[in-house]
């Protein structure tokens, strides 16, 4: 069987090889650890904001007790061209639901290794919105005070977005995750964008 015939009946992500590149077993495990720990960051944020576990969110401000997971952050935006837009969105139920479902979905997607392309897209979009809200390019707030930005070029939002893209691009869900099972589902096999 020629390589072309073999590739036509197999899953492309399992057989693709680029000359001079290799993902070793150790590298695959390191990517799996990165995937799971990044997923735990998002899942923990969801759990803390939902139940008020007394880390970033006190119990009285928990989502299940009527608190808003977005009001405090978005209403305190003091920099950037979209600050008034974020103020108007702060605490809206649709914003709360979208934010919390995003945190939960990204966390579960990363931890399980399922739908990493969709997870990376959603995670990068969320990180872009949060980057705009903190707007690290600004040295001063709208009141003239120092913004607290320590690096206008690279911040943690960009790092998280890049991490998620790398995890999706390297099929990091296949090691210690459900990525291979997901890839074999008939719908996913026909719609490879959903890997």
In this predicted model, what pLDDT tens digit does every residue of 25-39 receive, in sequence order? 999 999 999 999 999
Count how many domains the chain has: 1
Q: What is the pLDDT of residue 118?
A: 97
Residue 188: inside a domain:
yes
CB atoms within 10 A of CB 193: 8
In this predicted model, what pLDDT tens digit does every residue of 108-124 receive, in sequence order? 999 999 999 999 999 99
Residue 23: inside a domain:
no
Mean pLDDT of 8-21: 52
Single pTM value for the model: 0.87
% of the chain with per-residue pLDDT over 90? 82
Mean pLDDT of 167-190: 95
9-23, 33-47, 93-107, 171-185: which range is least confident on average? 9-23
| Coil/strand/helix, residue 146 | strand
Q: What is the pLDDT of residue 23?
A: 83
Find the domain containing 87 and state its range: 33-194
Question: What DSSP string runs through 55-116?
Answer: SSS-GGG-GGGT--TTHHHHHT--SSTTHHHHHHHTT-HHHHHHHHHHHHHHHHHHHHT-SH
pLDDT higher than 80, residue 12: no
Q: What is the pLDDT of residue 64?
A: 97
Q: What is the pLDDT of residue 19?
A: 61
Residue 182: inside a domain:
yes
Res. 142 pLDDT band, cuts 50 70 90: confident
Q: What is the pLDDT of residue 1?
A: 45
In this predicted model, what pLDDT tens digit does every residue of 47-84 receive, in sequence order? 999 999 999 999 999 999 999 999 999 999 999 999 99
Residue 157: inside a domain:
yes
What lies within 8 Å, CB to CB, of 61 at 6+ separation is 52, 67, 72
Residue 181: inside a domain:
yes
Residue 140: inside a domain:
yes
Q: What is the CA radius of gyration of the chain?
A: 20
Residue 112: inside a domain:
yes
d(CA 161, CA 80): 20
**The dihedral formed by the CA atoms of 105, 106, 112 and 117, expressed in degrees to the nearest 10:** 110
pLDDT higher than 80, residue 91: yes
């Amino acid at each position: 069987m020629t390589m072309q015939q073999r590739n036509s009946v197999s899953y492309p992500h399992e057989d693709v090889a680029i000359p001079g590149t290799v993902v070793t077993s150790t590298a695959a495990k390191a990517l799996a650890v990165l995937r799971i720990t990044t997923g735990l960051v998002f899942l923990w944020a969801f759990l803390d904001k939902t139940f008020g576990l007394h880390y970033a969110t006190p119990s009285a401000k928990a989502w299940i007790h009527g608190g808003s997971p977005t009001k405090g952050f978005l209403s305190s935006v003091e920099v950037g061209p979209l600050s008034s837009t974020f103020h108007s969105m702060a605490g809206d139920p649709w914003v709360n639901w979208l934010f919390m479902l995003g945190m939960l979905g990204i966390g579960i997607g990363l931890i399980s290794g399922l739908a990493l392309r969709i997870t990376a897209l959603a995670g990068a979009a969320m990180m872009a919105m949060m980057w705009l809200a903190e707007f690290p390019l600004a040295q001063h707030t709208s009141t003239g005070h120092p913004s607290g930005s320590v690096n206008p070029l690279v911040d943690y939002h960009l790092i998280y977005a890049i991490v998620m893209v790398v995890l999706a691009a390297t099929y990091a869900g296949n090691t210690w995750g459900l990525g291979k099972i997901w890839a074999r589902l008939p719908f996913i096999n026909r719609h490879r964008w959903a890997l």
